[in-house]
Amino acid sequence: MGQAHSGEREAHMSHEALTQLLARKFAQKCFTPLELYELKDVFRSLADQEQQLRYLKEDTVAKFLEIPDVLGVSSVLFQMMSYIGAFPFLSDAPAVLGWEQMVMVITIMTERYKRILAQGAADRRKLLFNSLAVHDRKVSHLHAGEDAEGRLGTEKMMDSRATPVPQASASAVDEPGDEQADSEGIEQEDGLVLAALSSLDFVEAFKNEKRTQTEQGSAMIPADNFRKLVMLLLLSAPLGPQERLSLHAARLVGEELESLRSTAECILAAFLNVETSPGIKSSRFNSVLPVSLPFLFNGFNSLFEHFLFSKQSDFTQHKDESGAASRQPVGAIGIPQPLLQEQGSILNLNVLSQLSFFIPGETLFRRLRLLYSGDDDGFSMGSFETKVFNWRAPTILLVRGSRLEEDGPGFRASGNSAEANFTASLPPRRFPTGSGGRTDSDTLTFGVYLPEPWRHTHREAFGGEETVLFQLEPIHDVFHTSSLNTDRATFTRPSGATEHPGVTFGCPPPGQPSSSYGHHKSGVKSLGPVSLVLDSSFEFGCFTHDYSSRGGAFRGSVARNFDFQERFAIQSLEVWGCGGDEEARIQAERWAWEAREAEARRKINLGTGDIEADRALLEMAGLIGGNRSGGSMA
């Protein structure tokens, strides 16, 4: 009887009452008592009041979070908050940001909802899409003709050069009216809503929610809005607890601001071609984000946690020598270490934030050391080996170059014999470039995250399952390892026995072509379906994406479902070590040991002609014997 009466009572509860009930549960379960106290204090200090209603305005939020005016992103962020504030009744959006609504916003933006909604959606991706999307069928129809015309030429080019595959093309997913794909996105978002209402033992309210298929089909994120948001996320990515966004103001002026905007443009290019598409559709958003940018929105965690630290509170009190309490400035957290100890030719703060969108930030920020730079150490495999091989932790290789001219019948490599030799070492088949319409940029940046130390390649390649191959410029793209083979990384010095020395990722070791890569022609290097090749002189590189093949050591792109290849002249090459002082100490000790060994070898006078006598001399010096080889004496 009690349950029946309870069910009847809840069936007549209003959206407002259920929202208050859920907000109360979120507040109790997702925040500590101190955090809840601080949140209430912050809300009271910021809220405007109209009759009995207290709420937050857009400019108030922007000022409190220190959102830079130059980004023009305040309205985009407030739109997101107003939508998420209506949770779980999202059809009521936009919501006035009162107390209950702000509890919803902070719980979801900081991912604290996972503490009580274990059976909800795996992340907030679907919810965030709809918070950014606009529903305007007129806009979709206005650009539909332009999209079709722009796609026609691109698709003809792809069809003539690549084998069709049974997957949607990169342009097709941006077409307006993709109701089926959008419906799937809505249903997955509903999983989070259902979990929230289920936690209240009340699901009937959700069944009464109605959203038309027309709204779903017309939903898209405007390209300009997303660009502004990505610039904010690049800026906020390294934020720590209580760290103010204004500390990074230097990244918003002059060349730094242009670099920030350029990096955001590369990320935007992973979702759409801005010249032919007005916005990002949910199907595209949901396919690219989890693979190429899984940590894109992590910067919101620290940003929105500022609502949990009141400026009126001061937890930094300490006593001076006289025993009297002294106070540090509110919000002081000391002077943090720089995010990057030194900037390289390729890696700067914006590229560092871009890397943190798919490599966990705790392994990057304040933990990268420049091990090798071609500009400073010379473009040679010898200097590369000397600087990199002793690092006993993960590394990140970055290479930047300029695209080589397209070759064809009668093509000669600009009279450059080195370029001609490099071109001749590659298979003659040439795919189109992979810029996706961004022909304005001939600068290419690729990289590899390698989780294990470097070593020489003998019979087998190296590199663990966490190895990641990626492109940063002009399009952001990420290629994770597959289970088809383990030809992830090779490092082969030039020698008479090696036909194609150099550094490769996704290719078989030199001299041992795998049958899975197709026919191997003598004198021509075997390229993996998804692979990066750097020649032994570090002058040229080649990235191949053979999407129509069965795949290889790395998976194909989710952003570009077609064949392409980029051949480029290397301009910069650098390797960064992931780790701290301990890793640097071990490397320094290894360098010192090698220096002592080299000095000991130099002082020993060999060449007497008596091999046994020379061997005995080396054993007395401690250079061979036991576990030491000392090299061949024969």
pLDDT tens digits for 137-187? 554 444 444 444 444 433 433 343 333 333 333 333 333 334 444 444 444
| Statement to judge: residues 439 and 545 lie in one domain | yes
- Mean pLDDT in residue range 299-325: 70
- Mean pLDDT in residue range 439-468: 90
Q: Which two tokens stand for residue 331?
A: 């919000």
**Residue 349 covered by a domain:** no
**Residue 286 covered by a domain:** yes
| Statement to judge: residues 289 and 435 lie in one domain | no
Domain count, the chain: 3
**Residue 330 covered by a domain:** no
Q: Give residue 132's pLDDT.
A: 96
Q: Which tops the pLDDT comparison, 213 or 373?
A: 373
| Statement to judge: residues 515 and 618 lie in one domain | no
**pLDDT-based confidence at residue 226 (cuts at 50, 70, 90):** very high
- Is the pLDDT reported for residue 279 higher than 80? yes
| Statement to judge: residues 226 and 365 lie in one domain | no
Largest CA distance in the chain: 104
**pLDDT-based confidence at residue 47 (cuts at 50, 70, 90):** very high
- Is the pLDDT reported for residue 115 higher than 80? yes
Q: Which of 335-344, 384-393, 447-456 has the lowest mean pLDDT?
A: 335-344
Structural domain that includes position 196: 9-307
DSSP 293-330: -TTGGGHHHHHHGGGGS-TT-----EE-TTS-EE-PPT
CB 109 within 8 A of CB 123: no
| Statement to judge: residues 556 and 612 lie in one domain | no
CA angle 345, 346, 351 (to 5 degrees): 140
- Is the pLDDT reported for residue 330 higher than 60? no
Q: Which tops the pLDDT comparison, 13 or 341?
A: 341
CB 154 within 8 A of CB 171: yes
Arithmetic mean of pLDDT over the chain = 79
- Mean pLDDT in residue range 570-582: 87
Highest mean pLDDT among 361-375, 491-505, 576-590: 361-375
Q: Give residue 567's pLDDT.
A: 94
pLDDT in tens, 395-405: 999 999 999 87
- Mean pLDDT in residue range 103-125: 83
Q: Give residue 409's pLDDT.
A: 41
| Statement to judge: residues 243 and 371 lie in one domain | no
- Mean pLDDT in residue range 232-257: 93
| Statement to judge: residues 575 and 609 lie in one domain | no
Give the Cα separation of 367 and 360 in Å (integer): 12
- Is the pLDDT reported for residue 514 higher than 60? no
- Is the pLDDT reported for residue 252 higher than 50? yes
Q: Give residue 497's pLDDT.
A: 72
| Statement to judge: residues 152 and 242 lie in one domain | yes
User: How many CB atoms sit inside 10 A of residue 472's CB?
Assistant: 22
**pLDDT-based confidence at residue 581 (cuts at 50, 70, 90):** low
- Is the pLDDT reported for residue 103 higher than 90? yes
DSSP letter (8 states) at residue 554: B
Query: Which ranges of 254-306 would DSSP assign to H, the alpha helix?
Result: 254-268, 282-292, 299-304
End position of a domain, from candidates 307, 342, 369: 307
Length of the chain equals 634
**Residue 43 covered by a domain:** yes
pLDDT in tens, 459-479: 889 999 999 999 999 999 999
- Is the pLDDT reported for residue 615 higher than 90? no
CA atoms within 13 A on the CB side of 493: 11
**Residue 353 covered by a domain:** no
Q: Give residue 600's pLDDT.
A: 63
DSSP letter (8 states) at residue 466: T
Q: Which of 214, 136, 124 is nearest to 178 (CA)?
A: 214
**Residue 554 covered by a domain:** yes
| Statement to judge: residues 157 and 259 lie in one domain | yes
Q: Which of 48-57, 192-201, 225-234, 248-257 has the lowest mean pLDDT?
A: 192-201
Residue 50 parent element (H or E): strand 48-50
Q: Give residue 433's pLDDT.
A: 85
End position of a domain, from candidates 288, 307, 326: 307
pLDDT in tens, 528-557: 999 999 999 999 999 999 998 877 999 999
- Mean pLDDT in residue range 511-526: 61
| Statement to judge: residues 514 and 372 lie in one domain | yes
Angstrom distances, CA of residue 83 to CA of 61, 78, 96, 135, 199 = 15, 9, 9, 13, 21
Highest mean pLDDT among 116-120, 175-179, 338-342, 596-600: 338-342
| Statement to judge: residues 208 and 170 lie in one domain | yes
| Statement to judge: residues 121 and 167 lie in one domain | yes
**Residue 235 covered by a domain:** yes
CB 220 within 8 A of CB 278: yes
Give the Cα separation of 266 and 264 in Å (integer): 5
User: In a 10 Å sphere around its CB, with 0-12 CB exposed, 13-18 middle and 19+ buried, how is residue 10 labelled?
Assistant: middle
- Mean pLDDT in residue range 279-287: 93
CB 148 within 8 A of CB 142: no
End position of a domain, from candidates 279, 307, 335: 307
pLDDT in tens, 64-97: 999 999 999 999 999 999 999 999 888 889 999 9
**Residue 315 covered by a domain:** no
CB 260 within 8 A of CB 350: yes
- Mean pLDDT in residue range 36-62: 95
